[in-house]
Amino acid sequence: MTHLLADLTTLRVGGPARKLVEARTDAEVVEAVAAADAAGEPLLLVAGGSNLLVADAGFDGTVVHVATQGVSVASEDACGGGVVTVAAGHSFDAFVATAVQRGWAGVEALSGIPGSVGATPVQNVGAYGQDVAQTIETVRTWDRLERRQRTFVAAELGFGYRTSLLKRSRVALNGPHPESRYVVLDVTFQFPLRAAASEVAYPELARRLGVEVGARVSSAAVRAAVLELRAGKGMVWDPADRSDHDTWSAGSFFTNPLLRPDQADALPTDAPRFPGGDGLVKTSAAWLIDHAGFGKGFGAPGPATLSTKHTLAITNRGGATAADLLALARTVTDGVEARFGIRLVNEPVLVGTSL
């Protein structure tokens, strides 16, 4: 039986997997990964598939579909807050909904982000002024190099903007191409218990809520506002909806560039600038794309275009191949570099291909 990676990704592209293993328990995940490593087979881990662009040729190795589920509450009291462990394959947005319902504050602004819980610490997933590094306590992994379980506390994970130790730790185990050293098995979060959310830190979200930046608003109100904002940008994934092709994407295709001060000074005066940490300046990839001449819907009628709602998303209009999506991504990156001297970096993981 042929298993197309297109069926496991939100971009709905990707050729066949030579072997697909469905893993519903931690033991099955470890067993499948260890078997592939023992056989010297290339390995690809897939859960929600929202951050992958797989080549049309597919993947000539073992694909492990991580389908573990469950939320376990270790403690829930005013002193220690809520300490909650979530299986790697569990839907992240379903977990956020549970957190809001239970009064676990700190992830409500991450509502609507597709994919699985296990992927979130790898990318340090963030949106609207929050990221998972703010609430993660530990991450339990399978170390493919040492062939044992390892648990990392947050301070060891080296979180940064859309990065972590987990993302940076890649080794060439089964061939010339580096693969992830650590396989996330579960993530433990620690939350303060309060009905009010953390401070609203993002201006766009504050405007939608009708409050000032820094105000505290109920977690439920923040979740509702974020879902509205994301839906307006075509970034709420519904696997059953095959009509809105703006959602056939990997979310933001490019990260916001971190620039040296001299690079930021060279941008037009109206270009967005935000503190990027370590003396760097963050600017908006969406602004750069738009002002380089690539507006919403660029590339129409397709088969691949920028979203009609948000310039940062590259979308499959229904019949696109991975090659089509990459061709559009190259056009955009080349155009932005020619206009501003900045080379955009892709956020999704590219499998079997590159920009």
State the Cα–Cα distance between residues 49 and 58, nearest whole angstrom: 14
Catalytic residue among 144, 252, 307, 317: 252
Task: Give the span between the Cα atoms of 253 and 249, in whole angstroms.
Answer: 8
Pairing of strands 258-259, 126-127: unpaired
**128: its two tokens:** 């609207």
Q: Is residue 321 classed exposed, middle or buried when 0-12, 13-18 and 19+ CB atoms within 10 A define those classes? A: middle
**Whole-angstrom Cα distance, residue 33 to residue 26?**
11
- Please, are residues 189 and 107 in contact by the beta-carbon 8 Å criterion? yes
Identified catalytic residue from 12, 162, 208, 317: 162
Nearest to 229 by CA among 317, 112, 136: 112
Mark whether 41 is an active-site residue. Answer: no
Instruction: Answer yes or no: are the C-beta atoms of 286 and 278 closer than 8 Å.
Output: no
> Cβ(236)–Cβ(144) under 8 Å?
no
Please list, in sequence order, all residues whose beta carbon lies within 8 angstroms of the beta carbon of residue 119, skipping any fewer than 6 positions away.
47, 48, 50, 51, 88, 92, 125, 184
Q: Which of 260, 256, 240, 258 has its CA nearest to residue 248?
A: 240
Residue 24 known to be catalytic: no
Residue 347 annotated to the active site: yes
Q: Using the CB atoms, write b or e for 146-165: b if 16+ within 10 Å.
A: eeeeeebebeebbbbbbebb
Pairing of strands 314-316, 3-4: unpaired
Residues facing residue 23 across a β-bridge: 66
Report the catalytic residues: 162, 252, 347
